[in-house]
Amino acid sequence: MTPSRMFRLALVIALVVAAVIFSRRCGAPQSEADAVPQNGGTLVATYRTEPTHFNRLVEARPMARLTALLTQATLLRVDPNTGALVPRLATEWTGTPDGLTWTVTLRRGICFSDGTAFTASDVLFTFQAIYDERVKSPLALDMRAKGQSFQLRAIDDHHIVLTFPSPFGQGLAILDSVPILPRHKLQAALDAGTFRDAWSASANLSDMAGLGPFMLQAYAPAQHLRFVRNPHFWRTDATGQKLPYLDELEVQIVPEQNAELLRLQSGTSDLTNGGARAEDLAMLRDAETAGRVTLVDVGPAIDVSTLWFNLTPGSKAVADKPWLAQEAFRRAISHAVNRQAIVDTVHLGAAAVVYGPVSPGHGDWFVPDLGATPFDLARARTLLTSLGLQDRNGDGVLDDASNRPVEFSLLTQSGHTERERTSTLVGEQLRQVGIKVNVVPMDQRVVQARYASGDYEGIYYGAQANSKDPTGSRAFWLSNGPMHFWNPNQPTAGSEWEGRIDALMLQLAETMDHAERKRQFTEAQQLLADHVPALWFAAPHVSVPMSMRVGGATPTVIQPPVLWNAEELFVLGPRR
Amino acid sequence: MIHATAAHVLRRFVAALLVVLSVSTAAFVLARLAPGDETTTDVMEGVDPKAIADTRDRLGLDRPFPVQLAQFTWDLLRLDLGESAKFDRPVAALVAERGANTARLAFVALLLATLIGLPLGVVTGAYSGTWVSRLVSTASIAVLACPPLVAVLVLLYIATTTAWISVAPGDLLVPALALGLPVGAALERLQSQATHDAMASLDLLAAAARGIPSHRLVWVHAARQSLRPVLGVYGIVIGSLFSGSIAVEFATSWPGLGRLMLDAVQYGDVRLVAGCVFAAGVCLAVGNLVADTLRSVVDPRVRDLS
């Protein structure tokens, strides 16, 4: 080959390589760090459930929350990462020294998505709807202090006065959950008693209007919701650019979680319903290494799965196996379970050891090592012996005084890998101290039904938490709460310590000083730890997967982890 | 002959009606006897017990089971399927909406299955022993043996990684392929056997002896003769399309009756479960009725026997 031919060949090869690199460069999303937010583009999110209603005031399910988040606005927001109050429709607020009366200044010159001006009357209307008995709003219970409704009045179009009838611990943070609805669109329905039907999933979308960053343009049942930019949205970024950045946000309804992940990995969608499952983490990490997705660890979850026994007085479980009701028995279990092994094997290291329902994800409500029961088989055996539980026939299983084996059934949710594996591992670990556990994976609904009917011995399950503030989980802490798992809906507290927790939680609901609230809640946690009514093992880290196209995301442990600031999301590059 | 056929169809229609009413009632009974009810999920979500009590009262869940069953049966006889507790909408409207989607999916899937399965069946039946026949037979058996959910996920994986086919919720091709391919494989196997039998029949041997070209022998004479037994299973095939659509609709996000039913079962929406079963029963009954009628027209022995 002559030198000139070699040169031409080298040139061609160099050009081809350059073209490939250039084309890849053009097609690849820019990195988040050097990205400047750009207007335009569409992101696709997937959700596993479909909406049944678009009105947050009448529906508390995740899709209604998401729709409200995207299409409506609240007076203020609690930043899910910092806990700080952030102005939204309210620009400023001043309170009396006792914290009971607040004068709130509303943002001026802003409009609903249909162009109608926003005024104080919309705020008053929203609260009128919440408190209307016919609406049966799930928000109504939270918007009360000592059972009394908040008082609201308008000073003028841009100022309102909000009065709490008695000290209210959450203070103005409660307003984070109240989307302000358009009076001009819904007053007639409220007057006619048809408010619950307005904005249902089969309603005409043109009847909806909001102050949020997006408008719901289309809904295809069981397929997708298409949100488009609200041209009247009032927020701008630090440079004065109007928000939201996106032209469109499509929420596709994909009920099957594997299909949801396939779409994300292939670049068909950009965001999923929530955190990744433990069993998907390895695959997602590979995809992250290959540059197909980003995986953000946002810290330990705030909804920790719980193991509890049916301690309702008179229940068959307690009658047949009275040792279940003994604190020493449950404490022995707590010592016999190697929590670190659960973290390492079930969660592949991506979890925090916990001894109570409050995890490090709850921020400063979490008290490290409170109620810690270190892994100690000898201590567990001693506690079990103190209850008269011994292996009397040499079969390796303890027996009670009536020679009945110490065994119990543990219901858990089938298909939920973390719960199934943890239950199995706990069963194996308890075998070492002579306790036989029969793990029974069941359909989620059946577990819920067995809990509701009280037909069970033990359950390992969990409920979703939507707030870091302890008052958000009153249904668990209060003895009359439906999620006071071990003995729910008690007419009066069945034990002294539960009564004390009730009192503390009610005080906490009325206390405004954060340090004092923290002290009260720490005491409640300590009481729970002292009496071990239930057991907690590990709080999994929430890893939020996203496509490489998503810019501006600041994921959080609270649902929805990314879309909570949808107005600040932008597109980093073209779809693969 | 027309009178006999009409009487046969009428008998089958009455039987189908009874079957539909029976399975709908059975679905109601089974769903109601299953643990939990429409408010079970609310309990675990920490909904106010007063609100739960209101819902139970509104849905009549506190009434004795025989009263609830009598009410359901009376409503069903008046073709009133009631209200969905989950969607807060009339069940009939929901079922009609999603049933139309499932019918569309089933139609396209059946079309694909027929277009793929029958010709391939003729080929494998007529030319058995060739490598083409062996290849197609093996592929058919593999597709038939694959669980629906796995098959769907494989198809989804191919579709998403190659981007050859859209997988957006509401796009038809992936669910139609997922639903149609196993049916096509079943039709191929049936058609193959029927063609093989037809090719061995005396009349075709005689036709071959008369010098009729082999391609005409296969694609006209054998194919026509072998269609009769295959036609008979179309009613069952339509039924299987509806039952098989649950996994497919779930995985591909197709907004059909199967997915609605799964939602209803998961939520414990008993009226909606019964409504979905009613709709599926109607489709199955209509499919069987059409297949029976066609068979009775084609083969008088069927009519006479019934």
Ranges of each domain in chain B = 91-305
What is the four-CA torsion angle of A56, A62, A65, A66, rounded to 10 degrees? Answer: -140
d(CA B115, nearest CA chain A) in Å: 28
Q: Is the pLDDT of residue A25 over 50?
A: no
- Asked if pLDDT for residue A235 goes beyond 70, the answer is yes
Calculate how close chain B gets to A191, using CA atoms only, in Å. 21
Residue A446 to residue A455: CA distance in whole angstroms: 11
| Cβ A341 vs Cβ A432: under 8 Å | no
Q: Which residue of A has its CA nearest to B159?
A: A266
B250, B254, B260, B263: CA torsion to nearest 10: 40
Instruction: Please determine, for residue B280, whether its predicted confidence score (pLDDT) is greater than 90.
Output: no
Average pLDDT over residues B103-126: 90
Token pair in block for residue B179 = 């639903």
Do A499 and A379 have their domain in common?
yes
- At residue B196, does pLDDT exceed 60? yes
A397, A405 Cβ separation under 8 angstroms: yes
- What beta strand segments (E) does A405-556 contain? 407-413, 436-442, 458-461, 534-536, 538-547, 550-551
- Which chain A residues contact residue B268 at CB under 8 A? 445, 449
Nearest CB among B46, B54, B251 relative to A256 is that of B251
Residues of B in contact with A477 (CB under 8 A): none
Tell whether A18 is covered by a domain.
no
Report in angstroms the alpha-carbon separations of A214 from A80, A243, A411: 20, 10, 42
Nearest chain B residue (CA) to A443: B266
Determine the angle formed by the axes of helices B270-298 and B223-232, rounding to 10 degrees.
150
Please give the residue range of the domain that contains residue A176: 62-197
* A contacts of B47 (beta carbons < 8 Å): 60, 138, 482
Token code pair at residue A408: 């119990």
Residues A92 and A115 in one domain: yes
Query: What is the reported pLDDT for A21?
Result: 41
Q: Chain A to chain B, count of Cβ pairs less than 8 Å apart?
A: 119
Same domain? For A523 and A456 the reply is yes
Mean pLDDT (whole number) for B84-91: 88
pLDDT given for residue A5 in this prediction: 60
Write down which residue in A197, A215, A232 finishes a domain: A197
Contact A484, A477 (CB under 8 A): yes
Mean pLDDT of chain B: 85
Q: Verify whether the Cβ–Cβ distance A483 to B153 is below 8 Å.
A: no
* CATH superfamily ID and name for B91-305: MetI-like (1.10.3720.10)
- Give exposure, A479-504, as e/b (b: 16+ Cβ within 10 Å): bbbbbbbbbbebeebbeebbeebbeb
A273 occurs within a structural domain? yes
The answer to whether position A129 is within a domain reads yes
Q: Of B37, B44, B172, which to mutate for an interface test with A (greatest number of A Cβ within 10 Å)?
A: B44
Q: Is the peptide bond before A87 cis (omega within 30 degrees of 0)?
A: no
Contact B253 A254 (CB under 8 A): yes
> What is the Cα–Cα distance from A360 to A368, expressed in whole angstroms?
8
Poorest-pLDDT segment among A382-396, B22-36, B150-164, B256-270: B150-164
Residue A319 in domain? yes
Where does the pLDDT of residue A27 fall: very low under 50, low under 70, confident under 90, or very high at 90 and above?
A: very low
Q: What is the spatial distance between Cα A534 and Cα A461, in angstroms, rounded to a whole number?
A: 11
pLDDT at position A122 over 90:
yes
Tell me, yes or no, whether A260 lies in a domain. yes
**The one-letter amino acid at A527:** L
pLDDT of residue B299: 65
Q: What is the pLDDT of residue B154?
A: 87
Answer yes or no: is pLDDT of A6 > 50.
yes
Least confident of A308-322, A344-358, B247-261: B247-261
- Tell me: the pLDDT tens digits for A59-86? 888 889 999 999 999 999 998 888 899 9
Residues A383 and A500 in one domain: yes
CATH code, domain carrying A116: 3.90.76.10
pLDDT tens column, A419-432: 999 999 999 999 99
Q: Do A222 and B259 touch (CB under 8 A)?
A: yes
Q: Which residues of B touch A202 (CB under 8 A)?
A: 89, 93
| Average pLDDT for chain A | 90
- CATH number, domain containing residue A288: 3.40.190.10
Indicate the pTM of the whole model.
0.83
Is residue A555 located within the same domain as residue A466? no
The four Cα atoms A517, A519, A523, A529 give a dihedral, to 10 degrees, of 100
Q: Tell me if A253 and B46 make a contact (CB, 8 A cut-off).
A: no
Q: Are residues A220 and A192 in the same domain?
A: no
Residues of A in contact with B98 (CB under 8 A): 221-222
Asked whether residue A495 falls in the same domain as residue A560, the answer is no
pLDDT for residue A26: 41
| Residue A405: count of CB within 10 angstroms of its CB | 18
d(CA A533, CA A546): 38
Q: Is the pLDDT of residue A1 over 60?
A: no
Q: Do A475 and B268 touch (CB under 8 A)?
A: no
For this complex, say whether ipTM is above 0.85: no
Domain count, chain A: 3
pLDDT for residue B2: 65
d(CA B166, CA B177): 12
Residue B276 φ/ψ, nearest 5 degrees: -65, -40
In the predicted structure, residue B167 carries a pLDDT above the cut 50: yes
* Candidate from A26-35, A115-124, A459-468, B13-22 with smallest mean pLDDT: A26-35
> What H or E segment, with its residue span, contains residue A250?
strand A248-253
- Our CA angle for A399, A404, A410, nearest 5°, is 90
Cα gap A67→A505, rounded to integer Å: 31
Higher pLDDT, B171 or A361: A361
A124 and A136 co-located in one domain: yes
Q: For residue B155, give the chain A residue with the closest CA.
A: A259
CATH number at residue A380: 3.10.105.10
- A524 and A548, same structural domain? no
Using CA atoms of B187, B193, B195, B197 in order, give the dihedral in degrees to the nearest 10. Answer: -150
